[in-house]
Chain A
Amino acid sequence: MRGYAVFAVLLGQLWPGFAAAQEPRFHYNNFGAPGLIEMPDARSAADADLAFSLSHFAGQTRNTLTFQVTPRLSASFRYAALDDVFSPDGTVYDRVLDRSFSLRYRLSDETDYLPSLAIGADDFAGTGIYSAEYLVATKALVPALSMTAGIGWGRLAGVGGFENPLGAPFADRPAQEIGQGGTVRGNNLFRGDAALFGGLTWQMNDDWHLAVEYSSDALRYQDAGVFDRRSPINLGVGYGPSPNLQISAQYLYGSTFGAALTYVINPADPPFGGGFDQGPVPVVPIRPLSSSRAAITRNLADEGLLLHALDRHPDRIAVEVVNLTYNAPAQAIGRAARVLAAHAPPHIRRFDIALVERGVAGPAIRLDRADLVAREFALDGAAQLLKAAQIAPAEGRPSPLMQSNFQWGITPYITPNIFDPDDPLRADFGLALDGSWSPVAGVLLSGTVRHRVLGNLDQASRMSVSVLPRVRSEFALYDREGDLDLIDLTAAWYAQPAHNITTRLTVGLLEEMFGGASAELLWRPENSPLAFGIEVNSVRQRGFESDFSFLDYDVTTGHGSVYWDMGEGYHARLDAGRYLAGDWGATLALSREFRNGWSVGAFATITDVPFDDFGEGSFDKGITISMPIAWLSGRSTRNTVDRTIRPVTRDGGARLHVEGRLYDLTNDLSADAISASWGRVLR
């Protein structure tokens, strides 16, 4: 109990800085979810907030990534390290590295008289160490003081449990073992005894808050010889010096101190607003500019655009440009239009501009020069310009310039492996040399070589024990062999037999582990939220040295795909077919994509591989995050940082990686993408 006194003395020291009544706020708890200290509450983060939380006490370190998927729904992925874990079967583990998912939904909003109400489930598909469900209510009693009360099941019914109020069908909760995890335990949800929890939060001033809670968590997996749970009362003091950062110190369970840190970013709110891109070419330059193709090409290049095709007509110019720079396709259109307006002789009255990727063209955007001049500085110039523009499939594409295009670059790379049970933080760093050459429109030869500079991925010693063809689980062997790796070397041919149908044929070393041939067809009907694709690949497994050698395993794999743009940035995708290990099944992927290029998603694959044969994790699943570099730097570039985080990498449900798949390739060409980014047409 002396700890409570110490905590009180610390608070007393801080007291003079505290001011009077504040508005109610939400805070992140030790599980990275909105809550008190260890317990959840019923508030939500701001829509699209992405929070990275780190908490530690009594040998438990929890790292949680929480995304506010919709204003009401949030999802978390947690990676925890627990020391001295006591399993119900009597086994004591020195250390358990545990991955778990959580979902929570705010059922109702707080009103003057009613609390907000939220329902949630933790660790419903992992080992079950943190398995819990809850229904919780939170109400501000006065603006600065909020009260939370909830009923919990599973872990949250560890102490003070009583008979489940949901009735006899929910009376028993199947016993939990720290097993292989992965199975969604639907038969556990809201079952077994229930218990009450709750607490108070006092927002003392803009920066500081105080929380006290009654925890119904018995911490039954914590070895009693190491951790002594003496009290259900937890105390916490939180400090939020900025909207992005929360830090808290806690006195927990009457016996130990803890701390937590949460950093929040919001994909819709970049640090640098509209960014630092140079100003565009004025629509009416001070001095007339040359109308030669060379001058236009040069000025487009200065704007980060590559002239792909150009036709001059008596009163208009039609161009196709490759957008090398801008995440907003409308900004590429706007900059191309300005260059044309600045260079074209006065009798040219219209510009037809289409974006093109690897020979595949989007619809032409027709802009009248007079509209550009009139709207350049109009208050709602962008909206007026969109209203005046015509977006139509290109009628007879302009003639491509007979020029080859060679590009190359050297960039640093990092390949982390964060879930190896022997060492949860392995990574390689090095330099990657990328090169691509397009000898004619639609044909691309490209390759990537990586040289490892330093790292410890080669120290992974855990060997695959997979009973399936080892199409992914021997990744450590690829990491171990050699410092110079030929990652891919391909020839690809893209074609557009109709304006809404595109095809791709890629041959060569398609990815680090497989080479062969890949053929794809995409039908993307206009004005439809749906698109359909089919892909067939005939591939052979590459040697571990990542050179030109191959192993004996080959397979024909492929999928039929349905892509659904659900609106408001939410996307769904269903791929059904045959995977690399020869297993048949389907992958469902859901994502929220922001117009600025951010994307956060999750996927799960179920195939005909039995869960036991799949091994740890039971089935393939994970989360995907894509962050545009421009969001961070404020300077336009189409480069992104893409990460797929899988709790475990196994062989079932594994899909071939092929660069340049058609749906992503054509995304920024569509009329929808151009319209959605139109706010930047005059940027």
Chain B
Amino acid sequence: MICMAALIGCAPGPDQDVARIRAALTPERIAAIEVPMIMAVAPDVGVAATLLQVGRNGDVVTWQTADGVQLSLLNGVVVATRGLGHDVMSVNIGSPVGEAGHYQRVWSSLDGDFGLNFYRLNCQRWSLGIHPNDGPAGPAMLTRVIETCEGPHRDFRNRFDIAADGFIWLSEQWISPEVGSLQITVIKR
């Protein structure tokens, strides 16, 4: 797993170079990858890394960086993170990403004294229509869906670029006030 990450140029940490990882993702390199892989970038904290699958519990897939940071995605939507500091401990995602409308999401995060805090967020989702895929893999055109949520200490906007079969190839998903958003790109489905 570490070798696979190194092949692409995974460099988690404040000194990593997002552009270098992206430059390394040539079509030839991507074609040579034989296992599912995603890339995650946290612009606010200056961290980027590639992740490989380490677990699958029902529809939730857990992805992990070479240094042990995990993202757990339910059909492409973040339901848990581990190792980012201010993590998402759990989320209910409300309704499938493909559906527009209003709904509630509930998040939990750890407080500093081993307790969990739960936040109820009012969200809505709508489509911006067809959008060119600016990621390294996937179909040329994707449907862009925007999600906004409001709640205590949380007020954010997520973006999902979805293929016709419902698969999320690119997304920008908010994690916490301290981490900000993660840009998640599927490199190999």
Contact = CB atoms under 8 A, between A and B. Distances in A.
A631 to B, nearest CB: 8
Given A377-B60, A677-B114, 15 more contacts: A268-B113, A270-B112, A272-B86, A273-B110, A274-B89, A276-B83, A278-B67, A278-B83, A280-B82, A286-B54, A379-B91, A382-B89, A595-B113, A679-B111, A679-B116
A277 B82 contact: yes
B124 interface: no
B185 interface: no
Given A382-B116, A679-B115, A283 B67 contact: no
Interface of A: 266-270, 272-280, 282-286, 328, 330, 373, 376-383, 594-596, 631, 634, 676-680, 682-683
Which interface class (under 10, 10 to 19, 20 to 34, 35 or more) fits B?
Answer: 35 or more
Nearest to A682: B89
21 contacts: A267-B112, A268-B113, A272-B85, A273-B86, A273-B87, A273-B109, A274-B87, A279-B64, A279-B69, A282-B56, A285-B55, A328-B114, A376-B57, A377-B60, A379-B90, A379-B106, A595-B114, A677-B114, A678-B114, A679-B114, A683-B82
Contacts of A276: 83-85
Contacts of B80: 377
Given A268-B112, A596-B113, A282 B54 contact: yes
A282 B82 CA distance: 11
Contacts, number: 114
A640 B156 CA distance: 38
Contacts of A679: 110-111, 114-116
A273 B114 contact: no
B55 A274 contact: no
Contacts of B86: 272-274
Contacts of B118: 379-380
Per DSSP, chain A at the interface is loop
B92 interface: yes
A274 B109 contact: yes
Contacts of A283: 55, 57
Nearest to A678: B114
A275 B85 contact: yes
B55, B110, B113 pick with most chain A CB within 10 angstroms: B113
B108 A380 contact: yes
Nearest to B177: A273
A368 to B, nearest CB: 15
A266 B111 CA distance: 12
B176 to A, nearest CB: 7
Interface in B98-128: 106, 108-116, 118
B134 interface: no
A58 B27 CA distance: 72
B133 interface: no
Contacts of B53: 286
Interface in B33-90: 53-58, 60, 62, 64, 67-70, 72, 74, 79-80, 82-87, 89-90
